[in-house]
Structure 1
C-alpha cells in the first residue's frame, strides 16, 4: 500500500505461510501484531475476521499467530514502536500516539483521491471518496490481508506494478503542491524549534 502521503505498508508471505508487513521499509513484523495494535487485541477476533477465507491447505492466520509474540493491544503497540524506533524508550502511550499520528492524521497520511479510488476498485470496497476516508482505515488493512490470503490460496498472478493500468501521470499542480507542502512543514518545524528555546519575556511577533 503506497499512499500519496505517508508511511508505506509492504506485505509478504513467508515460506511457512506466515504473513508479515513492513512499515516504511523497516523491520518486518507479523500482520497480526499490527491488527492487535490497531484495534483487534484478541486472537479469537482476528481468527473470526478471516475464518471464511483462510480455508486452504495452509492456515495463514494460524501460522502468523505462531510467530506473533504479543498477547494483547499493549504488547503489540510496544512491539510496533520498537520496530519503527529501535533504541527509543517504548511505552504504550508513546506507541499509541505515534501510530495515531502515522496513520490517522490527515496531515501525515493521505491515500489521495486516486489512491482511495484504486483501493476501492482493487479490494471491492465501497468507501466514499472523501477527505475523511482518505486516511488509513482498519477495514482497508483487513481487506488487504483477506486478498493476500485469497491470492495465496488460488495462486493467481499478482498485480504487475509496472503495468500502465497501475500507473498514472501526476499533474504539474500535484507536484508543485507536494513540494510547497514540504517547504511549509520545514518552516513550521524551524519556527517551533526556535520558539521552544526563545525567551518568552523578550520575544516579539
Structure 2
C-alpha cells in the first residue's frame, strides 16, 4: 500500500522486482540507477546475504506527473532469488504496490521461472494481496542470447503470463526493455491509485 506524506505532499509507491536467481533483477535496478539523474534518486542500499542480495532505492520519475497535487516517488526493491531466502522475499513483498516478474528466457530455466512465479503467488496470498488485481508486469530477460538457447516472447507468455499482463522482452545488461518495463508497471500502479484513491499508509 502506498505511503502518503501530507507534510511533503508526496506519495511513495513500492515496486518489487521478483523472479528466480540470476534472472536479472539486480541488473535491472543497477541499470535504472545508473540512468536516473543524481538529484532524482536516493542512495542505493544493498543488503547482502551469503550468496545473494536485496537492493533498494527511491527516485522521483521525470514524467509521471502528480495525483491530486501530490508528487509521486517510487521505491524499487529486488528480492533474493534463491529458494532458501523465502522469508526475506515475504518481508520485501509486504506493502508492495506493484511487481515486476523478471523471467530468465533460457529454455533450461523454464521450470525455475514457473516455480518462482508460483512462489510469488503464494507469498502474495499470505499478505492477502490479490495477484489478479495487483499491478504486475513481466519481463523476459536475456533475449540477447543465441536463439537456440531461449524461448520466444510468445512461448514465455504461454508458460507464464496467466493474467495476460504487459510483458516485455529485455536485455537488462545493456538496458534494452528495462525502462519500458519500469514505465509500464509505474503507470499501472498510478492508474490503480487514481482509481481507488491514494493509499492509507503513513
TM (norm. structure 1) is: 0.32
TM (norm. structure 2) is: 0.32
Give the number of the structure whose residues are more often strand, by fraction: 2
With a CA cutoff of 8 Å and minimum separation of 6, indicate the structure with the bigger relative contact order.
2
Give the number of the structure whose residues are more often helix, by fraction: 1
Tell which structure's C-alpha radius of gyration is larger.
Answer: 1
